[in-house]
Amino acid sequence: MNSPKWLDRILYPFAHHTLQLDSGQMHYVDEGKGEPVVFVHGTPTWSFLWRQQIKSLCREFRCIAPDHLGFGLSDKPKDFSYTPEAHASNLEQLITRLQLKNIILVVHDFGGPIGLHYALRHPDNVKRIVLLNTWMWSLEEEKRIRQVSRFMRSSIGRFLYLQMAFSPRILLPQGYYQHKHLTKDIQRHYHKPLSSSASRLGTWRFAVALHEANLYFAQLWAQRDKLHRIPILLLWGEKDKLLPLHFLDTWQQAFPEARVVRFKAGHFLQEERGSEVTAAIKDFIQE
């Protein structure tokens, strides 16, 4: 595929790869050689979020970073369900098609309940897991998140997401602790893939899923014991305004042997503390 004119090839110098799925064409990055590291993004981001990590780690590892359907450079079909479970199925198809073995799985935000679905189904093919400001359990008890998700399911919420670009314009900046890291150039790369109302359907469906997908999240959490043999690294932006800090406590209680590194950063710690996040991942892989 050809690069869109707005894409800065210095910021994002990676070759384009695509996988044809039943619902559309998935774009992904595949850089370097060695142990496969699979990066799974959330909302409203895409593989661009992982560019700093990929640029460094691809010198020693094979770095794979897909764009979910509805995000980044992937297709944005009208008839796709955009549920976390559907995205998880697409990710599994990519991993299977590329014949990736003993993967290091790195997940953020909605990438958690998407990527960890694969780890639960194929724990023997996941060598290590890195979790960044994410979750894998029902959010029914999270009153604020539940209320926001229900509101976003309304006609007003749908209008805000689809017509007013609520996710990239409002939520994205709130995910930064230090806004100096969200330059106009960086912000443009998150806005451009979501430049029309039709292209924002995936972001809206994720907002709705915070409530509607609770059964799916709960089913994942019920199987968490399958992950206990896999080494886990928790990288956490403790200034996150989008996900509460006690999510980190939940992970630590469930996986007390996990290594934890906390950063004075917001939700998008890959952007704010890029080199430190990269170094922590590299140290963990080479441990």
77-99 mean pLDDT: 98
Mean pLDDT computed over every residue of the chain: 98
pLDDT digits (tens, 9 = 90+) for 138-176: 999 999 999 999 999 999 999 999 999 999 999 999 999
pLDDT digits (tens, 9 = 90+) for 243-275: 999 999 999 999 999 999 999 999 999 999 999
Q: Does residue 4 sit within a domain? A: no
pTM greater than the 0.95 cutoff:
yes
**Boundaries of domain holding 40:** 17-286
pLDDT given for residue 244 in this prediction: 97
Q: Does residue 3 sit within a domain? A: no
Q: Does residue 84 sit within a domain? A: yes
Distance CA 48, CA 191 (A): 12
Distance CA 43, CA 174 (A): 13
CATH of the domain at 28: 3.40.50.1820
Q: Does residue 227 sit within a domain? A: yes
Q: Report the number of distinct structural domains present in the chain.
A: 1
Q: Does residue 2 sit within a domain? A: no
Residues facing 236 on adjacent strands: 262
Q: Does residue 1 sit within a domain? A: no
Q: Buried b vs exposed e over 203-241: b needs ≥16 C-beta within 10 Å?
A: bbbbbbbbbebbebbebbbeeeebbeebbbbbbbbebbe
pLDDT given for residue 249 in this prediction: 98
> What's the helix, strand, coil split of the chain in %, to 5?
45, 15, 35
Q: Does residue 79 sit within a domain? A: yes
pLDDT given for residue 150 in this prediction: 96
Task: Yes or no: say if 282 and 57 are a contact pair by the CB < 8 Å rule.
Answer: yes
45-58 mean pLDDT: 98
Q: Does residue 78 sit within a domain? A: yes
